[in-house]
A and B are shown apart, each in its own frame.
Chain A
Amino acid sequence: MTFRIPVYRGGRAIVTRSVGLALVGAALLVVGAFVDRERLFYAYLAAYTYAVTTVVGALLFLMICHAMSATWPVAVRRLAEAIVGALPLLAVLFIPLLFGLDALYGEWLHPESIDDEHVRAVVVHKQPYLNLPFFLIRTGIYFAVWLAFGALLRRGSLRGDASPALASSGRLRTISIAGLPLVALTLSFASFDWLMSLAPTWVSTMFPVYVFAGGFVAAIALLTVLAFAAERAGFLPGLRTSHYYALGRLLLAFTIFWAYAAFFQFMLIWIANKPEEVEFYLLRSHGPWGTATLVLVLARFVIPFAILLNYGIKRRPAWLSAVALWIVVAHYLDMHWLVVPEAPGARAPLHWLDLAALLAVVGPCVAFTALRLRGKPLAPINDPALPAAFRYESL
């Protein structure tokens, strides 16, 4: 069974629309700078970590598939590579955050301004790690690692489209095996630096696992949505029920994994009841944030879990994509829930700046990804495993 994979030529509408929305978002952010500058950066950080964890999640998925020489994911590999293609733009989109470091990380940037003596001592103790130059160096390293492995895998796979000899060499597998620990560790440390340090006295060793799991689920969910869209548009003929079933199983498994990480982080902190640890959950358990926590648990775990448990739904592409889209949105709620409660002063959970930041970050990423995908077939056409990947069957 061979399928002719057409070259992706569309995307004009996607690009113009997402650029339009991005411009609207950016304009609103500029207005927001005069309305509530502090809240602006929290909104931006939530949207930014949402995009970056999803994209790095896709990079990890891609590397795992290469490292395991897995067959069926070859059918959707080009789509994962497309998501990873957003990385260079995400590195650029980090720049606005540099102007908000004082607003976001003021506590550890200027520990002398902390009133409480004990808290000050704890933050000063962390200064060898939490200081501005080292923070910037680390962020540089994260992007260097992600960009390097993203580009190596993407370019290697695209080159294979031109020459079959390159597509069948095991080079991408070696790169992936070497890169997996590096990418996983940099994502963990990025979650320490960008998210956990919002509350510099709070520590949780489960936190990077939590962020990692969330990004990984979101990446698989986005991949499912893209696979369905590509198949419907006729760019990926030969995708079968079994491919959706495989993606659906992964979605279910990693939704459970996210819930595991989330619950055990909560349970251990709850049961130990130490003041410097429980602040994270106290902040999120009262008033409107209590509702937000409940919504997150329902949206991120209970609802997708209950739906994905069903065998038939995992084999229905339209249904599965709807659930996957839901998970993609729920991942934003998760990042919002991690970032925004840390904003000083009792602020309402939702603000129009959240939507503006989301448009300003996700819009350009979508346009950039679509542009980079143009003129390329939506599957690695010369990969020796591709025919077997399309034949994949799972009951």
Chain B
Amino acid sequence: MKRGLLAEFETPEAMLLAIAELRSRGYRRLDAFTPYPIHGVDAALGLGRSPLTWIVLPFAIAGAAGGYLVQWHNNAYAYPLNVGGRPAHAAPAFVPITFEMMVLASALAGFVVMLFLTRLPELWSPLFDVPGFERATIDRFWIGIDARDPALIRPLAERDLTDLGALTVAWAGEARS
């Protein structure tokens, strides 16, 4: 999120409770900022599984197929050599490189697609201007409600968050026009 309402909580339990309560009140574009992974936060936010695995799968298949094809082309088609009487199309000998090419293609694709999906690297975000937000990397647990959340009506949401035990509530990004 780039704009929205941020709320600071002292403990992960309080934050999880607040997320559950906010979701039951109809907020859908929630986010959490915590110094370490919190058990149950994915489920509380209603996050699904990352699509990364399915995106990487075709790259893995392509890497394996490409690796095998290159070996077949070089060793069996373009420049066949007799190595101790073994067949030019030596499938068992092709397997290790095929496997390694699959690993390489999936690892690179996984890394690049992950950067794309998470919009990293992000050197600066309007959220960082909120005073005290840096403690999200130290000892505080923050909830964000995205400005695009249709349920977000700022004064009501601010009251909701304060009632749920937020230490501070602050707006990040440009104020809503």
Contacts and interface: CB of A to CB of B under 8 A. Distances in A.
Given A393-B39, A395-B42, A273 B92 contact: no
B173 to A, nearest CB: 30
A311 B42 contact: no
A311 B49 CA distance: 10
A395 B96 CA distance: 31
Contacts of B123: none
A206 to B, nearest CB: 14
B24 interface: no
Given A271-B92, A393-B39, A393-B40, 14 more contacts: A263-B95, A266-B92, A267-B92, A267-B93, A267-B95, A267-B96, A270-B92, A271-B86, A271-B93, A273-B84, A273-B86, A311-B49, A311-B53, A395-B42
17 contacts: A263-B95, A266-B92, A267-B92, A267-B93, A267-B95, A267-B96, A270-B92, A271-B86, A271-B92, A271-B93, A273-B84, A273-B86, A311-B49, A311-B53, A393-B39, A393-B40, A395-B42
A373 to B, nearest CB: 33
Contacts of B49: 311
Nearest to B49: A311
Nearest to B37: A395
A263 B99 CA distance: 12
A257 to B, nearest CB: 14
Interface string B52-65: 01000000000000
A194 B96 CA distance: 31
Contacts of B95: 263, 267
A273 B42 CA distance: 54
Contacts of A270: 92
A266 B53 CA distance: 31
Grouping DSSP codes into helix (H, G, I), strand (E, B) and loop, the B interface class, with mixed when no group exceeds half, is helix
Contacts of B39: 393
Q: Give 4 nearest A-B pairs by CB, closest first.
A: A267-B92, A270-B92, A271-B93, A393-B39
Interface string B72-113: 000000000000101000001101100000000000000000
Contacts of A273: 84, 86
B4 to A, nearest CB: 25
A305 to B, nearest CB: 13
A326 to B, nearest CB: 23
Interface string A242-273: 00000000000000000000010011001101
A262 B132 CA distance: 57
A36 B75 CA distance: 49
A76 B93 CA distance: 41
A194 B86 CA distance: 33
B132 to A, nearest CB: 30
A393 B93 CA distance: 42
